[in-house]
Structure 1
Amino acid sequence: MADEDETVHYSGTEGGWGSMRGIVETALRERPTPGALDTLRRQNKVKGFMCVSCAWGKPAKPHAFEFCENGAKATLWELTTRRCTPDFFARHTVSELKGWKDYDLEQTGRLTHPLRYDPTTDKYVPCSWDEAFAAIGAELKAIDPGAAVFYASGRASLETSYLYALFARLYGHNNLPDSSNMCHETTSVALKKVIGSPVGTCVLEDFEHCDSIFFFGQNPGTNSPRLLHPLQEAVKRGCRIVTFNPIREKGLELFKNPQSPVEMLTPQATQISTLYLQVKAGGDIAAITGMIKYVLAAEEAKWAAEKQHVLDVDFIAQHTIGFDEIKAHADATSWADIERESGLARTDIEEAAQIYVESKASICMYGMGLTQQVHGFHNLATLTNLWLLKGNVGREGAGISPVRGHSNVQGQRTVGISEKPELVPLDKLAEQFGFEPPREEGMNTVAACQKILSGEVKAFIGLGGNFIRAIPEREAMEQAWTKLRLTVQIATKLNRSHLINGQVAYLLPCLGRSETDDQASGEQAVTMEDSLSCIHGSLGKNTPASRHLKSEVAIVAGMAKATLAPNPRVTWDEWVADYATIRDAIAETYPEMFHDFNERVFTPGGFYKGNAARERIWKTESGKAQFTVPNGLRSVGFADSPGLFRLITLRSNDQFNTTIYGYSDRLRGIEGTRDVVLMNPEDIAAAGLVNGQVVGLVTDAGDAVHRQVDGLTVTPFLLPRGCIAGYYPELNPLVPVWYHDEESKTPAAKGVPVRVVGALAP
């Protein structure tokens, strides 16, 4: 491993004055409305505004400022005073705007009017809401419902998501891909199979009782900084944190709490990770298998010497199946193979495993470093194996805790946004609304992309997000997209997906969550689910960016009314007038989770929807938690060869998903650009390159399709040999649409086979 002094890096801490500066810089760029400060004061608090950024839990007793740097940036971004009006579109053709960068598109400000794309002038022109709904309804009625795709980003509320899914099924399809398909679908598939729950098992209180936390492939410093508060508190009471990540992320190294005057005014900071191991991208199965091997050996040694167990043998006997098979696999796996595939020394893996052995209650946390791999399912199944060995599922202070991204990405799945009919109570919906729901499996994100490429999809509706920018195979997808008959995008700001249009295209501006949502019955609250399965109410208080905006609920209802035949049980107007009636409908569909929904909307800390695995009720095929033998030791889908690198796509400190707030990746020491390729200095030298050279990356996936991104500056960075990194979404064109987790179809963007080409002199 190279020395840090040879690389670009950040010498400060996560949090501290750097975070304050990042918030101020965003505020100066966005020039937010006067209500922004009050919104930040209310953010993530009871009867306040729930952050539109990450899905981390909201405590019942919040801090004075219950927001982080990226949460503040998201709020300021939404509350900008910049406006993207019809006059802007009168001055710019869509073809011209396609040449703009993501950041510049969003900096045009909040969309203010419903718009129709005019292909004769290549411009967006204003239209009325009635015109838009009527045209959308006419187009949808003219095609086979199975040829339409209703995509949802993870930001829409539970109320909107429920109606959107109902609209799709009343119309006649289950084609409901969402942002979870791109990031954490592997969680839903793997955990469902091995423990019977598609989501994590922890609640916020568990972090007060654990004595070790293990991180795999997740970066809270950039993606969920509020998580650093419970991590800091855990460390201060003696909890040990072990991190496995190819990149040394500052948030898992040092944290200076911006709400602590002592830390802000002194050099004091908290070391987060006790042990930080830079596992090779795709090497997590090997590393975890090494830990399992050590834990099993420790069990044998302790029983022989003391007649005491390291394993929770009663839990294994009563609650699991497959233990003998996983033990045989670990015994048969050599340390030489584990070291080679993980890129870690045996002594380091054993040190991590010893911390696990000594811990009475352990939490594992992970992100897309595990889920976005070809064998991501086996990443999670193998990690679950390790947790089952000591009974660390279903008891206080222990569990499996995936860290979700978008603020309601988990919740929208809970209320019906799913392409899998077996996950939705279709019989209940049939009884409740008097129709026969479609029973065929719908399209997930990958299937939708493939069928757009093949021409089978005719219509696409996007409920938020930046679908075309976020998906793999972008260049081919953009070419195919123009052959769609209908495209509809519901959004708050302009992004690239709005510039790639079908023959009939509408851009529909919606209220932001921070804005007052006035309907016939008064101000409306909406709800969302955090990554710890708690439901929270949110109440916007800011003046809407334009009087022409509609709420997401009203937009979905407007499209549905224009498309569907009247049904006396489907009361779109009543639902729009009073969102409490939508919550009543949700409670009727899902009574176990959402009983007394309206009475519990503003429960401090949210109300817990429940989790069977947390109660050690295993809703698996066997009725028990399942040990699973992995199909190998690597989770990438290719063999190594000279000059072939494992590409990891990253988010910067100045972005959230495809939203780019600025060009400062402060926590990695990269400023002013996103066009970089991060490489180990030894790899730079071995490839005959030098710091500052401009190169391209080309995919070497073996399918004879040329995929290349140019103009990337070689930047020395502390990475394992053979691994390189660059920013998402700029490097998405390098990811083949077929290169995904074998079980969940999640794109494998954390281990893409690429080569460096076209080096230019620095």
Structure 2
Amino acid sequence: MAETNQPAGGRGAVKAAFDAFSEQGIPLKVVRSFLKANKPEGFDCPGCAFPDRPGSFGPDSCEQGQKAIAWEMTPRKADAAFFAQHTLTELRQWRERDIEAVGRLTEPLRYNAQTDRYEPIAWVDALQLAATELRALEPTRVSFYTSGRASNEAAFLWQLLARAYGSANLPDSSNLCHEPSGLALKEQIGVGKGTAQLSDFELADCILVVGQNPATNHPRLMGTLHAASKRGATVLAMNPLVERGFVNFADPKDVGEMLTNTGHRVAKTVYTVKVGGDLAALKGVAKRWVELEAQGQSIFDLAFIREHCEGFEALLADLRGEDWQRIEADSGLSREALHQLADELARSRATLITWCMGLTHHEDAVATIQTLVNLQLLRGMIGKPGTGVVPVRGHSNVQGDRTMGCTFAVPERWIANQEATLPGLRLTRERGLDALGTAQGLLDGSLQGLLSLGGNFAVAGADAPAVLAALSRTPFTLHIATKPNRTHLHPGRTGLLLPCLARTDIDRQDGHEQRVSVEDSMSMVHASKGMQTPLSNEMRSEPAIVAQLGHALLHDGSVPWLHLIQDYDRIRALIERCQQGVFEGFENFNAKLQQPGGFWLPNAAARREWRNAGGRAKLMPHALPTEGVLARAKAGLPASEHARVLSLMTVRSHDQFNTTVYGQDDRYRNVFGTREVVFLSPAEITRLGLHEGQKVDVEGLAIDDGQTRWLRGFEVRKLEMAPGCAAAYFPEATPLVPTGLVAKGARTPAAKALPVRLHPVV
């Protein structure tokens, strides 16, 4: 297809949503989906975690959400007949998209190593087999992974099952994305969640979007930014790539823009920071403010700082001592550009800052996020209308799963509450493995079992080929899933694949339709109720599968597993009691869930209460790194090769949600029919002596483990971006990410600054 400069969103988004349903053979369901998605009496979109608009009468869904809905509402089946026709060895050769496009899992399956196929197994036998396998393993050598798709009810039962069994190994998808955000915020302001609500976007004077491509990954946020810009707010973006949504976006809900097929420039300025240069850029903003203060301008909210903060003088000293030349070199932005950004923010009376994995997937992610929060604290931009910090999470209930205890370390009060509420229950209090620890345990053989509540664990993390191979050597794997994916094609020596209901499916227990609950990125908890009859009577809900496994595995009688799933109100009543003194807001859980739009979990930092060590918000200076990943990679090369080293970031295409790939196109970047591409700026293509369309091998340089990694035969494509940088699609580029290259402290894969060289294919 030819290049297009049509606006992001707009007619193209509406067409793509309808096409997604037509492709699945269910074109008429799109209308009902638009009417039910993210509505009080409907289902929560299985896509991103951006909040629903309260009191919205029109559609409150987006192109990406409708693609996710069509993907799971498909009538196609990945049943026993399909797996009888294909060995797993054969299926491993398929593309990511083609594996999931087979359809919905409709019956429980067991891997047969002799035939190399998944074969049907009765539910009672599958559950008994799982219980037998788990009893034979040491609990501390088994991990229970949680995807952000799982509901609050399923997640609560999942962590209860794991800890009652004796395992605190509860990695979750947040370990792979926003772990640095939670860690940074918890230390700095006492709450590991964002402080703003959706209504704050209507009140902000200025919104800074950092390390994020909302037009593709969070289109409803893009619509919110579009509305803010149109009412006169200043929207600024800082990102290595100049994404189309920032410079030309048409809101599908804007009748005028739809009729004329014209867009609106949302971001006043896009600051093309170097990959990994955000820490330096943010320090440059703060340093500019210090200089303006020295000139007599009032930039800082000194009253707020005196009342609420500590570390002010240390931060000032750090900023005064920082060198502008170093800031410019590390950030890739000129002093003039950083002055402009600082001045824009200084003029604002109400500022919001949002970010995503463009910040979290770096070695210095925690330091970068805390430097970003410093900007808000210096100007008192937390805890008043139109202000706050907003980590925009990627999956619809990833935040809720953590609230429900699906994490490797929890407060003692959480454990004690569960034991007090369920007499006779004894839970492990050990600190468990996170996602990195789980991957390392699989690789070295110390982990003997992996159970997954959704997700595509091996592909979502680092060094996918090695982790997939390790899974095949593992004694036991169990996956609860709606569709097959690549991780499922590498079962353990005993492997189970169990079909669960999706968010859009009607969930009946004991003859009554059930609702589940989810928590969005801004701490709103609301109900979700399916609308579609399941494809098979053999598909069971996630809460039911988890509870039935608990019933088969644990016989002490302390947890009434089967009683709980007869009515999910019982699970929520249990959650309410267990959350006392842990998270505010769950009082009268079931009653609040009846409210249209749900309810907000109070955020102490949003009230300017700082529940961290010292009881004050922390202004935290961070030095610019001197031995970053790029420097370490260059150290192993002759000086003559240093100029060829690029910093490559992984990105998603527009036909994608997380590891789920809907198609081979990325119309916002003019890529059609392929995903094996490497993006460079036109100037970089010329500098390296390449040309667009040329095939190259991408060499992932050895960093700390001495191992070189490769992507073969990728096509060079041009895209406006920062000098010295490159980009390639996730998960195709995941093999370049070493397992040990992680965010300091948070241990999230550092997949956004990979040192590479490009070699033309002869």
What's the CA shift for 1:462?
0.8
- 1:329 matched to 2:318: yes
Contact kept? 2:49, 2:521, Cα under 8 Å: yes
Larger displacement relative to structure 2 (594-603 or 137-146)? 594-603
Change (3 A) 1:595 1:652: same
Larger displacement relative to structure 2 (494-503 or 8-17)? 8-17
Contact kept? 1:151, 1:460, Cα under 8 Å: yes
SS at match of 1:149: strand
How far apart, CA to CA, are the structure 2 residues paired with 1:183 and 1:523? Answer: 33
How far apart, CA to CA, are the structure 2 residues paired with 1:321 and 1:494? Answer: 50
- How far does the alpha carbon of each residue in 1:186-236 deviate from its partner, in whole angstroms, 9 at most, with x for none? 011110001111010001111111100001101110111011222122112
Question: How do 1:518-537 residues align onto structure 2 when only pairs under 5 Å count?
Answer: 518-520=508-510, 522-537=512-527
* Structure 2: runs of 5 or more not aligned: 635-641
Question: How do 1:258-657 residues align onto structure 2 when only pairs under 5 Å count?
Answer: 258-303=252-297, 309-422=298-411, 425-433=414-422, 434-520=424-510, 522-567=512-557, 569-591=558-580, 592-632=584-624, 636-639=628-631, 641-657=642-658
What letter corresponds to residue 745 of structure 2 in structure 1? E
What letter corresponds to residue 5 of structure 2 in structure 1? S
What's the CA shift for 1:268?
4.0
How far apart, CA to CA, are the structure 2 residues paired with 1:728 and 1:565? Answer: 43
How far apart, CA to CA, are the structure 2 residues paired with 1:509 and 1:48? Answer: 22
What's the CA shift for 1:423?
7.5
What letter corresponds to residue 605 of structure 2 in structure 1? A
Contact kept? 2:92, 2:489, Cα under 8 Å: yes
What's the CA shift for 1:36?
4.5
* Structure 1: runs of 5 or more not aligned: 1-7, 304-308
Counting aligned pairs with the same residue, the percent is: 39
Other-structure match for 1:3: none
How far apart, CA to CA, are the structure 2 residues paired with 1:374 and 1:539? Answer: 40
Other-structure match for 2:637: none
Paired residues in the alignment total 747
Contact kept? 1:153, 1:409, Cα under 8 Å: yes
- How far does the alpha carbon of each residue in 1:501-532 deviate from its partner, in whole angstroms, 9 at most, with x for none? 11100110111110110111500000000000
How far apart, CA to CA, are the structure 1 residues paired with 2:731 and 2:610? Answer: 38
Contact kept? 2:664, 2:674, Cα under 8 Å: yes
Contact kept? 1:60, 1:606, Cα under 8 Å: no
Other-structure match for 1:197: 191
Other-structure match for 2:739: 737
What's the CA shift for 1:361?
0.6
How far apart, CA to CA, are the structure 1 residues paired with 2:689 and 2:743? Answer: 33
What letter corresponds to residue 555 of structure 1 in structure 2? I
Other-structure match for 1:723: 725
RMSD: 1.5
How far apart, CA to CA, are the structure 2 residues paired with 1:269 and 1:24? Answer: 21
Larger displacement relative to structure 2 (625-634 or 464-473)? 625-634
Change (3 A) 1:411 1:665: same
What letter corresponds to residue 651 of structure 2 in structure 1? L
Contact kept? 1:464, 1:489, Cα under 8 Å: yes
How far apart, CA to CA, are the structure 2 residues paired with 1:10 and 1:185? Answer: 37
- 1:68 matched to 2:57: no
SS at match of 1:431: helix
- How far does the alpha carbon of each residue in 1:586-638 deviate from its partner, in whole angstroms, 9 at most, with x for none? 00011332111111114233300111100111011111111111131589533
Moved over 4 A (4+): 33-36, 633-636
- How far does the alpha carbon of each residue in 1:404-450 deviate from its partner, in whole angstroms, 9 at most, with x for none? 00000000000110101337611112212233321221010001111
User: Residue 132 of structure 1 is aligned with which of 105, 114, 126?
Assistant: 126
How far apart, CA to CA, are the structure 2 residues paired with 1:229 and 1:721? Answer: 29
SS at match of 1:51: coil
What letter corresponds to residue 430 of structure 1 in structure 2? E
TM-score, length basis structure 2: 0.96
Other-structure match for 1:221: 215
How far apart, CA to CA, are the structure 2 residues paired with 1:203 and 1:97? Answer: 44
User: Residue 174 of structure 1 is aligned with which of 163, 168, 173?
Assistant: 168
What's the CA shift for 1:178?
0.7
- How far does the alpha carbon of each residue in 1:104-150 deviate from its partner, in whole angstroms, 9 at most, with x for none? 11111111111011111111111100010000000001111000000
How far apart, CA to CA, are the structure 1 residues paired with 2:685 and 2:379? Answer: 43
TM-score, length basis structure 1: 0.96
- 1:109 matched to 2:111: no
SS at match of 2:60: coil
Change (3 A) 1:147 1:218: same
Contact kept? 2:7, 2:262, Cα under 8 Å: no
Larger displacement relative to structure 2 (176-185 or 18-27)? 18-27
